[in-house]
Structure 1
């Protein structure tokens, strides 16, 4: 089966029919909610304290609903008008913004306590238009994401890297933008359950959380004295 990002740009791929199917499929809903719960866990947010979070590629608000259940406030970004229309129909509590994440996060410095992204980051690795350059778009995204997070905040981005080169492309640009962190791989030996979470830190290098379904194994990727690990 072809990867969605190989079929069409996200604003075209998620047309009205695909957006409805995505939001009404019980299996997709279950997976998105599970990954969102894991992303919140990896953020290490303070307990019993509402936070203001950025949801990148929020789609129809499935991940945002999980943030709401945890008592947090959120703002969601997405490039698909059809996905955002469904989020409005679902009456999600978060604010919504139509924008291309590859053009950056247009917010004031330090205004978010954390950020999550579910199944969106891999789209930036494709050149959907002739003027798109994945390296530049990834760097612009990470640079502006770093700027709009508080200096103790984390960002957790679940994504589907196509290969090791794409993984390196993503982590190098995140590191270049100022982040520390690495990739946590849950259930690495399972074809269906395996999930990649890019855990980014703004306040200095700290140990990565333990991956689910395995003992903690770390392979450092070092450059410019900033460490990225694959766990």
Structure 2
């Protein structure tokens, strides 16, 4: 049980947890960068994008842009969405190549239908299972996220999520809403 108290989503809402200090720490941790890159690589592989063609991708929970760096290296254009101003500030300082949007994925994706050729999300989805405010209903927030994401994707494109579910109930909740 002790390990669960180390889960960031138990410590504070994401916009609070990823303050300036945490954002900088996260983005300078070479192990974190390596893991993030490997997961991004696998996520892009699973998107099954057309070979050698630059695509327009969405990175949900983009943080400081570590996944985006990989997308840029692969020749893709991307837009990153994150709830943490501090994380996005680090991304700006790092001069990432993607466009950045401040937003809560539980409020839905603010993009026109069919905008993206694919979506990746590394270690972000489990945050939607928390009710950080009285008004938050995890099932509703997940449903809003998935339905708006679905409409913002081009027909036939995929979204790949890497997440850390806390238990089988959480996974069930996410799957049901998806």
TM-score by length of 2: 0.97
The structural deviation recorded for 1:107 is 0.7
Which residue, out of 162, 169, 193, partners 2:166? 162
Counterpart-to-counterpart distance in 1, 2:13 and 2:170: 18
- Report the 3-state secondary structure (helix = DSSP H, G, I; strand = E; otherwise coil) of the residue aligned with 1:135: helix
- Report the 3-state secondary structure (helix = DSSP H, G, I; strand = E; otherwise coil) of the residue aligned with 1:59: coil
Which residue, out of 18, 33, 36, partners 2:40? 36
Aligned residue number for residue 97 of structure 1: 101
The reply on whether 1:14 has 2:41 as its aligned counterpart is: no
The structural deviation recorded for 1:152 is 1.1
The structural deviation recorded for 1:43 is 0.3
Structure 1: give runs of 5+ residues left out of the alignment: 175-231
The structure with higher relative contact order (CA 8 Å, sep 6+) is 2
Aligned residue number for residue 141 of structure 1: 145
1:72-111 equivalent positions in 2, closer than 5 A: 72-111=76-115
1:1-231 equivalent positions in 2, closer than 5 A: 1=3, 2=5, 3-174=7-178
Per-residue displacement from partner, 1:5-42 (whole Å, max 9, x unpaired)? 01100000001110010001111111111100000000
The structural deviation recorded for 1:82 is 0.4
Give 1 or 2: higher strand fraction: 1
CA RMSD of aligned residues (A): 0.5
Per-residue displacement from partner, 1:43-100 (whole Å, max 9, x unpaired)? 0000010100000000000000000011000000000000000000000010000000
User: Number of matched residues?
Assistant: 174
Counterpart-to-counterpart distance in 1, 2:81 and 2:97: 14
Runs of 4+ in 1 over 4 A off after TM superposition: none
Give 1 or 2: higher helix fraction: 2
- Report the 3-state secondary structure (helix = DSSP H, G, I; strand = E; otherwise coil) of the residue aligned with 1:156: strand
- Report the 3-state secondary structure (helix = DSSP H, G, I; strand = E; otherwise coil) of the residue aligned with 1:106: coil
Look at both structures and tell me which one has the larger radius of gyration over its CA atoms. Answer: 1
Counterpart-to-counterpart distance in 2, 1:26 and 1:113: 30
